[in-house]
A and B are shown apart, each in its own frame.
Chain A
Amino acid sequence: MKPAPFEYHAPQTIADVTSLLAEHGDEAKVLAGGQSLVPMLALRLTRFEHIIDLNGVDELKGVSRANGTLSIRAGTRQATVEHDAAAGAAVPLLAQAIPLIGHFQIRNRGTVGGSIAHADPASELPAVALALDAELEIAAKSGTRRVPASEFFLGTWTTSVGEDEILAAVHFPVWEGSSGFAVEELARRSGDFALAGVVAGVQVDGSGVVTKSAISFLGMAPTPVRAPSAEAALTGTNPSGDDLAEIARLAVGDTDPTADVHASAEYRLHVGAHLVARALDRALGAARS
């Protein structure tokens, strides 16, 4: 057996989860889909005295839509959302981003909330949440609170979820009107974490002028990051090819990529700009069609 020993808890309700967290503090870790945590336990990169399994908590499962918002309970499997045509129609970025997460066997187990709460800067769903200004519903023994995505991601693998709290749901705004979306990323092999990636959404009026835009990056900084200067440059214009290249250059100016064994920072900037141009071209095409 590779992981260090731990006490296993299988609560049935959010109240039981938060009570256990209140009791055990930083000696406890919640286990969602386990597709990141279990490898880290197996490699003994981390160990916990208490593992609190969320898989039996029915309150953490389900997808619903109301008042212009698609709400996904945190423990909903990625594959469930991937195969939910209504969810994909409401928030097309989910339909585009989820197939890029790992492999289908990983998505059968991995959860939407688990990926966002794990907050790996190279993963897709945190960048989607940030691009769409999603709200993160966080539960503690004392009650729930909502945090905007712009205040949720604090650093690599670090979020505003406290020791005694869990991510309970993610609320994605549904874009109305003529909107288009695209996710573009570069990974060394299918299913690998992306070296760089971009998530884009645009809304256009009847003449093709951009009325709203959102661009966020994955793998280009210690957290997912927005590209506010590029979004500002895009909105109010009717851009074409050369404009997109300029907007892409602006966009990567808001990133802070690092070098690792797979790619230099310079390479990530170069690739990132191309991915922005490609994603915007595709998103604009979808919005105008």
Chain B
Amino acid sequence: MTEHSISITVNGEKRTGHVEARKTLADWLREDCGLTGTHLGCEHGVCGACTVTIDGDAVRSCLVFAVQADGAEVVTIEGIGGSDGTLSPVQEAFRQCHGLQCGFCTPGFVVSVTSFLEQNPHPSEEEIREGLSGNLCRCTGYQNIVKAVQMASEEMAQGT
């Protein structure tokens, strides 16, 4: 099978590679870039664990082939916090509110919520629940994730 040369900016760093067309962006990030923070749950677009942003839009990286992201800017969970390890407001709020237990789904939630709050900085609780509907969590029962989004929204409003 033909391999394709790709060049993708991941978390601000340009990365190049050769991929089979059928390799998803999620697999390329994990296997070729070693960025294993992007988790794979269902691998068919249901669970949201693999959420990353492509050119600023949150998408499921298991439903995009790496070759399709050639030339794009991708941000993964590794690019959300500060390079010195400081947590982003969303990450800090998840920690404060106990918005995670096993943590498997958390990277997808954090990337999704970060993008969601950029689009809608002051969401109602109903909007938050709608915004979270594309990510599955099997531990928390979601209540503390909703609280974390509310806290992050308030923190970010104060910070601006």
**Interface 0/1 of B53-94, CB less than 8 Å to A:** 000011110111101100000000000000000000000000
Would A8 and B48 count as touching, CB distance under 8 A?
A: no
* Residue from A6, A8, A104 within 8 A of B134 (CB atoms): A104
A103 touches B48 (CB 8 A): yes
Task: Report the minimum CB–CB distance from B54 to chain A (whole Å).
Answer: 8
Contacts of A109 in B (CB 8 A): 57, 59-60, 63-64
Cβ of A85 within 8 Å of any chain B Cβ, yes or no, is no
CB of A232 within 8 A of chain B?
no
* CA distance in complex: A5, B19 (Å): 12
Please tell me if B22 contacts chain A, counting CB pairs below 8 Å.
yes
Residues of A close to B57: CB separation below 8 A: 79, 108-109
Q: Can you name the residue of chain B whose Cβ is closest to the Cβ of A4?
A: B22
Give Cα A42 to B68, complex, Å. Answer: 16
What are the interface flags for A171-191 relative to B under an 8 Å C-beta threshold, 1 for contact and 0 otherwise? Answer: 000000000000000000111
**When chains A and B are docked, how far (Å) is the Cα of A191 from the Cα of B131?**
10
Quick check: B116 and A104 within 8 Å, CB to CB? yes
A51 x B60 contact (CB < 8 A): no
A177 to B59, CA, bound (A): 39
A-side contacts of B101, CB under 8 Å: none
Q: For chain A residues 6-46, which have a beta carbon within 8 Å of chain B?
A: 6-8, 10, 34-35, 38-39, 41-43
| A-side contacts of B21, CB under 8 Å | 5-8, 51
* B-side interface mostly: mixed
Contact of A1 with B by CB under 8 A:
yes
B96-129 near A? 1/0 per residue, CB < 8 Å:
0000000000000000100010010000000001
B68 lies within 8 A of A55 (CB): yes
- Contact residue among A2, A39, A189 (Cβ-Cβ distance under 8 Å from B133): A189
Given contacts A42-B43, A105-B58, A109-B59, contact A8 B64 (CB under 8 A): no
Asked if residues A191 and B23 are in contact (CB atoms below 8 Å), the reply is no
- A34: chain B residues at CB < 8 Å are 63-65, 68
Q: How far is the CB of A10 from chain B (nearest CB, A)?
A: 8
Judge whether B134 and A105 touch: CB under 8 Å: yes
Which secondary structure dominates where chain A touches chain B?
A: loop
> Once the chains are docked, how many angstroms separate the CA of A6 from the CA of B23?
11
Q: Which residue of B lies closest to A190 (CB)?
A: B133
A7-B21, A42-B43 are contacts. A104–B131 as well, Cβ < 8 Å?
Answer: yes
> How far apart are B109's CB and chain A's nearest CB, in angstroms?
11
- A90 part of interface (Cβ distance < 8 Å): no
Q: How far is the CB of B134 from chain A (nearest CB, A)?
A: 3
Shortest distance in angstroms between A183's beta carbon and chain B's nearest beta carbon? Answer: 15
Given that A39-B44, A53-B68 are known contacts, is A1 also in contact with B133, CB under 8 Å in the complex?
A: no
What is the CA–CA distance of A109 and B56 in the complex, to the nearest angstrom?
Answer: 12
Most buried by B among A5, A8, A41, A105: A105
- Across-interface contacts of A79 in B (CB, < 8 A): 57
A185-B51 Cα distance, complex, nearest whole Å = 27
User: How close is B26's CB to chain A, nearest CB, in angstroms?
Assistant: 10
Interface pair A1/B58, CB less than 8 Å apart: no
A233 in the interface (beta carbon within 8 A): no
| Chain A CB within 8 A of B18 CB | no
- Interface residues as binary, B26-65 with A (CB distance below 8 Å gives 1, 0 otherwise): 0100000000000000011100100100000111101111
- Tell me if A39 and B63 are in contact (CB < 8 A): yes
Take A51-B21, A108-B57 as given contacts and tell me if A42 and B134 are in contact as well, using a CB distance cutoff of 8 Å: no
- A2-B43, A42-B62, A102-B134 known; 8 new pairs, CB 8 Å cut-off, are A1-B22, A8-B65, A104-B131, A105-B51, A105-B59, A106-B60, A106-B134, A108-B58
Interface pairs (28), CB distance under 8 Å: A1-B22, A2-B22, A2-B43, A5-B1, A5-B20, A6-B1, A7-B2, A7-B21, A34-B65, A35-B45, A35-B63, A38-B62, A38-B64, A39-B44, A39-B63, A41-B22, A42-B43, A42-B44, A43-B44, A103-B133, A103-B134, A105-B48, A105-B59, A105-B60, A106-B60, A108-B59, A109-B63, A190-B129
Query: What 5 A-B pairs come out closest when comparing CB atoms?
Result: A103-B134, A8-B21, A39-B44, A190-B133, A108-B57
| Chain A residues within 8 Å of B, Cβ to Cβ | 1-8, 10, 34-35, 38-39, 41-43, 51, 53, 55, 79, 102-106, 108-109, 189-191
